[in-house]
Amino acid sequence: MDLDTNGKMTKKKLLNKTTRSFLIFAVVILLVSAPVFYYISQWLYVYETEEVLLMHKGEFVKESRENFNEADIKLWNKYNRDVMIVPDMGVTKDSIVGKMIFDETAGEKEPFYLIYAPVDINGKRYTYTERINLLEMEGMVYSVAIMFLVIIIILLIGIILLSKNTASKLWKPFYNTLNQIHEFEIDKNKAPHFPPTDIEEFDSLNKSLHLLIEKNTAIYKNQREFIENAAHELQTPLALFQTKIDTLSQLELNEKQSNLVGSLSRDVSRLNRLNKNLLLLSKIDNEIYLEKNDILINDYIKKHLDFFTEQAASKNLTVITEFTSDLKINGNPALTEVLINNLFLNAIRHNEKNGKIVITTLHDELIFSNSGDKTPLVIDKLFNRFSKSNPSSQGNGLGLAIIKKITELNHWQINYSFSNNLHSFSVKF
């Protein structure tokens, strides 16, 4: 696991990770095989040197049996630098040793392999000696080792480049699928199109994703149509219900009846708000609000500040505006109005008596902060539809969901934070 400067785990591409593992394995094999190859080559050369010394000794013994006398031995020693026949040194069997001997030609000590072997010439015992300079062997071994390393490095680079290029082509369908899934939005009509591939695993993945997307898209469309149709169908009964309640409230009623009618009126109002919010979400999903204009948020808040203050009076809330900068955006006026209204109503609904609301405008950000609970809200489900932090709340759980939908439609960013006992919702444009 690799960590970045902030202590977070960094993610790696699968292709790079497999190539890196292969490279590490290849380098380890190279580092191990190079010295092994060197020592094996050295051992083979020493073994061959010993064989050559024994072979030369055997050939001399064969020749010395045929008319070889002391004069021939002196003549032999005179014209042979590395093979000498010396008086008996007491050697009873062939003996091969390695020594450092001063070489007159090189002017320094060099490594030699020597053989001492007993030979009989005309019935007299002599010692056969021969030496072979190992520097020639070392030079050859070094040359072979360097050649081996060069070949391995070229082979290693070639394999890495070839495997990376081949892997890129093999994984291309996967990355194509990944990009399409990343860009896919279920509320859009454009479904991803996965190109055919001759790789069985990728083909199976594409088919499974295609079926999954088709099934979930169908479920989503059915749910959206149901909500839209239900909201439309509820409009007329709710309007009639509200009218009848208004009619009842105008009659002479006793206290119990009046309380009951008031309770019914509040419930119908909540149903009306819920119905309007569902219709609004449906219209946003269908991208009805496409027209956009330049809007100065500061002017809108100033224009409706009296209305907001009146709404906050029920809890004796203090409304503070901090316009540190003129906030100008490009958006749909109707949706922008809904966004600001919902942010303000959310700040009122989830506030405490005698609390405060702080509205701040920055260069590219609008922030609504309010007092309330002394603990932060659970962010995971904060913007989900029908999600409530307080089950006893009078809201319908769609306010923040609508805010989230509007920001997504306009590619804005909504964030929640809790600091200094204030809950803050910020929209970054």
pLDDT computed for residue 423 by the predictor: 92
| pLDDT, greater one: 17 or 182 | 182
Residues 25 and 164 in one domain: yes
Residues 78 and 128 in one domain: yes
Q: Check residue 137 and give left, alpha or beta (phi > 0: left; psi -120 to 50: alpha).
A: alpha
| pLDDT, greater one: 210 or 107 | 210
Percent of the chain residues topping a pLDDT of 70: 83
| Count of Cβ atoms closer than 10 Å to residue 65 Cβ | 12
pLDDT computed for residue 393 by the predictor: 52
pLDDT computed for residue 10 by the predictor: 57
Residues 298 and 401 in one domain: yes
Tokens 């959310």 map to which residue?
Answer: 346
- pLDDT tens digits, 299-320: 888 888 888 888 888 899 999 9
Residues 280 and 299 in one domain: no
Residue 368: band (very low, low, confident or very high) from pLDDT cuts 50, 70, 90? very high
Cβ partners under 8 Å of residue 314, min gap 6: 348
Instruction: Give the residue from 183, 215, 240 where a domain finishes.
Output: 183
**1 found inside a domain:** no
pLDDT computed for residue 113 by the predictor: 82
Per-residue pLDDT, averaged over 148-169, amounts to 77
pLDDT computed for residue 189 by the predictor: 63
Say yes or no to pLDDT of 357 above 90.
Answer: yes
Say yes or no to pLDDT of 105 above 90.
Answer: no
Q: Which CATH number belongs to the domain containing residue 208 in this structure?
A: 1.10.287
- Whole-number Cα distances in Å, 358 to 302, 345, 351: 13, 13, 12
**What pairs with residue 414 in β-bridges?**
427
Per-residue pLDDT, averaged over 312-330, amounts to 89
Instruction: Give the residue from 245, 267, 285 where a domain finishes.
Output: 285
Say yes or no to pLDDT of 149 above 80.
Answer: no
Q: What is the 3-state secondary structure (H, E, C) of the chain?
A: CCECCCCCECCCCHHHHHHHHHHHHHHHHHHHHHHHHHHHHHHHHHHHHHHHHHHHHHHHHHHHCCCCCHHHHHHHHHHCCCEEEEECCCCCCCEEEEEEEEECCCCEEEEEEEEEEEEEECCEEEEEEEEEECHHHHHHHHHHHHHHHHHHHHHHHHHHHHHHHHHHHHHHHHHHHHHHHHHCCCCCCCCCCCCCCCCHHHHHHHHHHHHHHHHHHHHHHHHHHHHHHHHHHHHHHHHHHHHHHHHHHCCCCCHHHHHHHHHHHHHHHHHHHHHHHHHHHHHHHCCCCCCCEEEEHHHHHHHCHHHHHHHHHHHCCEEEEEECCCCEEEECHHHHHHHHHHHHHHHHHCCCCCCEEEEEECCCEEEEEECCCCCCCCCCCCCCCCCCCCCCCCCCCCHHHHHHHHHHHCCCEEEEEEECCEEEEEEEC
Burial class (CB in 10 A: 0-12, 13-18, 19+), 83: middle
Say yes or no to pLDDT of 3 above 60.
Answer: no
The alpha-carbon radius of gyration of the chain (Å, integer) is 47
**351 found inside a domain:** yes
Q: Which CATH number belongs to the domain containing residue 373 in this structure?
A: 3.30.565.10
Instruction: Give the residue from 222, 254, 285 where a domain finishes.
Output: 285
Q: Which CATH number belongs to the domain containing residue 75 in this structure?
A: 3.30.450
Residue 428: band (very low, low, confident or very high) from pLDDT cuts 50, 70, 90? very high
Burial class (CB in 10 A: 0-12, 13-18, 19+), 144: middle
| pLDDT, greater one: 158 or 65 | 158
Residues 239 and 334 in one domain: no
Per-residue pLDDT, averaged over 33-60, amounts to 81
Per-residue pLDDT, averaged over 212-239, amounts to 76
Instruction: State how many domains the chain has.
Output: 3
pLDDT computed for residue 413 by the predictor: 92
Residues 276 and 299 in one domain: no
pLDDT computed for residue 257 by the predictor: 81
- pLDDT tens digits, 233-280: 777 777 777 788 888 778 877 888 888 888 887 777 777 776 776 677
Residue 122: band (very low, low, confident or very high) from pLDDT cuts 50, 70, 90? confident
Residue count of the chain? 429
Residues 251 and 360 in one domain: no
Residues 212 and 176 in one domain: no
Averaged pLDDT score across all residues of the chain: 79
pLDDT computed for residue 16 by the predictor: 65
| pLDDT, greater one: 363 or 189 | 363
Residues 164 and 277 in one domain: no
| pLDDT, greater one: 224 or 95 | 95
Percent of the chain residues topping a pLDDT of 90: 10
CA–CA separation, 75 and 68 (whole Å): 11
**355 found inside a domain:** yes
User: Under a CB-based contact definition with an 8 Å cutoff, are residues 184 and 192 in contact?
Assistant: yes
User: Under a CB-based contact definition with an 8 Å cutoff, are residues 166 and 152 in contact?
Assistant: no
Residues 280 and 307 in one domain: no
**299 found inside a domain:** yes
**2 found inside a domain:** no
**194 found inside a domain:** no
Q: Which two tokens stand for residue 399?
A: 């306010």
Per-residue pLDDT, averaged over 25-50, amounts to 78
Residues 49 and 166 in one domain: yes
Residue type, 250: Q
User: Under a CB-based contact definition with an 8 Å cutoff, are residues 428 and 349 in contact?
Assistant: no
For residue 29, what are the domain limits?
Answer: 14-183
Residues 30 and 141 in one domain: yes
Per-residue pLDDT, averaged over 45-70, amounts to 79
**192 found inside a domain:** no
Residue 370: band (very low, low, confident or very high) from pLDDT cuts 50, 70, 90? very high
Say yes or no to pLDDT of 405 above 80.
Answer: yes
Angle at 162 between CA 161 and CA 168, to 5 degrees: 90
Residue 366: band (very low, low, confident or very high) from pLDDT cuts 50, 70, 90? very high
Contacts 24+ apart (CB under 8 A), 372-378: 372/423, 373/423, 374/421, 375/418, 376/418, 376/423, 377/416, 377/418, 377/423
**378 found inside a domain:** yes
